[in-house]
Amino acid sequence: MADIQAAFQYVDTNFDRFVGDLQALCAQPSIAAQGVGIAETAELVAARLRSVGASVQIVPTAGSPVVMGVVPGESERTMLFYNHYDVQPPEPLDKWISPPFSPTIRDGHLYARGVVDNKGHFLSRIHAVEALLKTRGRLPCTVKFLVEGEEEVGSPHLAAFAEAHKSLWQADACIWETGYIAEDGTPMARFGYKGMLYVELSAAGANTDLHSRQAPIMPHPAWDLVHALATLRTRDGRVRIPGFYDGITPPSAAEEAALAALPMNAAKLLGRLGLSQFPRGMSTPEAVRALYTEPTCTICGLLSGYTGPGKKTVLPCEASVKIDFRLVVGQDPADIFEKLKAHLQAEGFGHLEVRCTGKAYAYKTSLDSPLVAMLADVAQLVYGKPLAIEPTAAGTSPMYVLARLHSMPMSSIGVGWPGANVHAPNESLRLEDYRRGIKYMAAMLDRFATCKL
């Protein structure tokens, strides 16, 4: 431990410079959705990797290039860091107190687009590597960086990259892009993500909108869609597609224990949203369990006809809906899509158009993995608190894209916080989270080099 304390000391001594590095990286826009600054940022990321002695490749894809960096270490062990250098669009610009690409410190927070999502996470790992190198001369294990540039637009080329360059990013474990410290200071770790199937359904009638006086003798695509939708989900939220829940296994004992220990301030959450209770009167523990374990079917968008102010007596000629299914381990989005189509056919809605516009598989690391206990130990050391364990996120991330090619334990930990405003104006990082996050990464690499896996 004396050894890691030297690295911690190095972090404290060099912290202002580290923050300066982060400001420099955040000053460079890299908006994948708008094609802004991608090549320039890939070069900056490569330069930053070279600054800690990494051998670097900028690998072209059909979209943004992937920056790969490898820093060799003493043990046979290899840790992979997955990050991304692209950021969300900064709009609406008028809501930013300081400009999104002019990183500004106020009250111990650094404000900038991408400071948490995901440039701060990437650099915290670089800075941890630097602290270890400078205080030891060599890393305890090999570290690989995979930094992609299209995460904010759905990582459309990550799978092709991962397949084509399997050996480049092969490792024994992976730390995923992001993580956070809860409001009460508890460090959080995620060990999986839900999957997703995104579909669009549409119903068509005549080739033009009609005066609604024609109603008795014309098709009503909006009604058609409503009746089709009503067959998909019960009022209680249970998905009615036959076979939808097939293959799902209940949470393991370790997962149940982790879920039971997760903090949720239900009164605060509900109060902020103007709600008095969870659906169906769920208790808080039931809500926590549902949030992490239940697959869902959500109407994200629904449109037909005239939706402006006042009245219009129109019979619309089309109706459409966007639906996301959040899926859990055991559910294959391609299979669910087929089941959805078969269900619609069986219910008499085979004439509706059904398009799949997004697919992602769920992935979970077993909580029995020694990585879990190791991360908890190190969290106790750095944060002085037990690690809170999310067996999976409620949301979706392409962890499975890598995990399906190289089986390895994966965890998402990091330097975010609940008020970070990721994807929103005034995105911010708490500088103390950044300082501790670097130390956490350094200590984790140190322990990882020798822990049993």
Residue closer to a second copy, measured from CB, 257 or 269: 269
Q: Which residue has the tokens 């949470």?
A: 251
Considering the complex, what minimum distance in angstroms separates the CB of residue 285 from a second copy?
12
- Window of 7-15, 41-49, 285-293, 435-443 that interacts with a second copy by CB under 8 A: 285-293
CA distance 353 to 349: 9
Instruction: Give the list of residues 6+ apart from residue 342 with CB closer than 8 angstroms, or none.
Output: 242
* One-character DSSP codes across 146-180: EEES-GGGT-TTHHHHHHHTGGGG--SEEEES--B
Antiparallel, parallel or unpaired: β 142-148 and 66-71:
antiparallel
Smallest gap from Cβ 311 to a second copy, in A, equals: 5
Nearer to a second copy (CB atom), residue 302 or residue 354: 302
Distance CA 80, CA 83 (A): 10
CA distance 57 to 65: 10
Angle at 323 between CA 331 and CA 148, to 5 degrees: 70
Instruction: Tell the smallest beta-carbon distance from residue 271 to a second copy (Å).
Output: 10
* Residue 2: CB minimum distance to a second copy, A: 43
Would you list the DSSP string of 13-69?
HTHHHHHHHHHHHHTS--BGGGTBSHHHHHHHHHHHHHHTT-EEEEE--SSSPEEEE
Interface with a second copy includes 345 (CB under 8 A)? no
Give, as ranges, the residues between 67 and 96 that touch a second copy (CB under 8 A): none
- Choice between 27 and 269, CB closer to a second copy: 269
Determine the interface stretch with a second copy among 64-72, 125-133, 290-298, 375-383 (rule: CB under 8 A).
290-298
* Interface stretch with a second copy, choices 46-54, 318-326, 333-341, 368-376 (CB under 8 A): 318-326
Least distance (Å) between residue 168 CB and a second copy? 29
Question: Which of 303, 342, 354, 381 is close enough to bind a second copy by CB under 8 A?
Answer: 303
The DSSP code sequence of 186-246 is: -BEEE-EEBEEEEEEEEEE-SSS-EEGGGGGGS--HHHHHHHHHHTTB-TTS-B-STTTTT
Contacts to a second copy from residues 382-401, by CB under 8 A: 393-396
| Interaction of residue 265 with a second copy, rule CB under 8 A | no
| Residue number, 1 or 217, with CB nearest to a second copy | 217
CA 217 to the chain's CA centroid: 49
Name the residue nearer to a second copy (CB basis): 214 or 380.
Answer: 214
**Residue 314 touching a second copy (CB under 8 A):** yes
Q: Exposed, middle or buried by CB within 10 Å (0-12, 13-18, 19+), for 268?
A: exposed
Residue whose CB is less far from a second copy, 315 or 382: 315
Residue with tokens 């637009």: 153
Please report whether residue 276 would count as binding a second copy according to CB under 8 A.
Answer: no
β-bridge mates for residue 187, sequence order: 181
Nearer to a second copy, 142 or 397 (CB): 397
DSSP secondary structure code for residue 310 in this structure: S
- Among 198, 244, 337, 434, contact with a second copy (rule: CB under 8 A): 198
Among 20, 60, 263, 279, binds a second copy (CB under 8 A): 279
Whether 139 contacts 133, CB under 8 Å: yes
Task: Give whichever of 126 and 315 is closer to a second copy, judged by the CB atom.
Answer: 315
Chosen residue from 9, 75, 265, 313 binding a second copy by CB under 8 A: 313
Among 182, 290, 373, 376, the residue binding a second copy under the rule CB under 8 A is: 290
Contact 39, 84 (CB under 8 A): no
Span of 14-22, 136-144, 161-169, 320-328 interacting with a second copy by CB under 8 A: 320-328
CB of 426 to a second copy, least distance (A): 16
State which of positions 127-166 bind a second copy (CB under 8 A).
154
Pick between residue 142 and residue 331 the one whose CB is nearest to a second copy.
331
- Residues in binding contact with a second copy, number by CB under 8 A: 71
Site string for a second copy, 217-256 (x = CB under 8 A): xxxx-xxx-xx-xx--x-x-x-------------------
- Residues contacting residue 75 through CB under 8 Å, at least 6 positions apart: 140, 141, 142, 449, 450
How many CB atoms sit inside 10 A of residue 356's CB? 16
